[in-house]
Amino acid sequence: MIVTGKGGVGKTTVAVALGLRAAAEGKRTIVCEVSSQENTSRMFDHTAVGFHEVEMEENLWSISIDPDESMREYVLLQLKVRAMRDMLFRSRIFNYLAAATPGLKELVTIGKIWELAQLDRKVKSGRKYDLVIVDAPATGHGVGFLQTPRTFASIARVGPIHSQAQTLDRFITDHENTGTAIVALPEEMPVNESAALERELRDEVGVAVDRVYLNGLYPERFSKPEAERLEGLADGEDGAVRAAARAALSEHRRARSQRAQLARLRRRVEAPVKTLPFLFEPELGPEAARRLSRRLS
Integer Cα distance of 281 and 275 in angstroms: 18
Average pLDDT of the chain?
90
Mean of the pLDDT values across residues 193-212? 96
- pLDDT tens, 107-124? 999 999 999 999 998 888
| Residue 256, pLDDT score | 96
Integer Cα distance of 92 and 52 in angstroms: 27
Integer Cα distance of 219 and 180 in angstroms: 27
Least confident of 38-47, 78-87, 154-163, 276-285: 78-87
| Residue 243, pLDDT score | 93
* Helix (H), strand (E), coil (C) string for the chain: CEEEECCCCCHHHHHHHHHHHHHHCCCCEEEEECCCCCHHHHHCCCCCCCCCCEEEECCEEEEECCHHHHHHHHHHHHHCCHHHHHHHHCCHHHHHHHHHCCCHHHHHHHHHHHHHCCCCCCCCCCCCCCEEEEECCCHHHHHHHHHHHHHHHHHCCCCHHHHHHHHHHHHHCCCCCCCEEEEECCCHHHHHHHHHHHHHHHHHHCCCEEEEEEEEECCCCCCHHHHHHHHHHHCCCCHHHHHHHHHHHHHHHHHHHHHHHHHHHHHHCCCCEEEEECCCCCCCCHHHHHHHHCCCC
Residue ranges of domains in the chain: 2-218+272-293
| Residue 130, pLDDT score | 97
Integer Cα distance of 139 and 9 in angstroms: 11
| Residue 217, pLDDT score | 97
Integer Cα distance of 40 and 48 in angstroms: 9
Mean of the pLDDT values across residues 19-48? 92
Q: Per residue in 172-209, is it b (16+ CB within 10 Å) or e — as a string? A: beeeeebebbbbbbbbeebbbbbbebbebbeeebbbbb
| Residue 96, pLDDT score | 57
At the topology level, CATH places domain 2-218+272-293 in Rossmann fold (3.40.50)
Q: What percent of the chain has pLDDT over 70?
A: 92
Question: At a CB cut-off of 8 Å and minimum separation 6, what does 64 contact?
Answer: 32, 33, 36, 37, 38, 40, 41, 48, 49, 50, 51
Q: What percent of the chain has pLDDT over 90?
A: 66
Q: Which residue has the higher pLDDT, 70 or 75?
A: 70
CB 233 within 8 A of CB 179: no
Is the pLDDT at 100 greater than 60? The verdict is: no
- pLDDT tens, 270-289? 999 999 999 998 888 899 99
Least confident of 181-195, 222-236, 252-266: 222-236
What is the model's pTM? 0.90
Integer Cα distance of 188 and 262 in angstroms: 10
Angle (deg, nearest 10), helices 239-268 and 188-200: 20
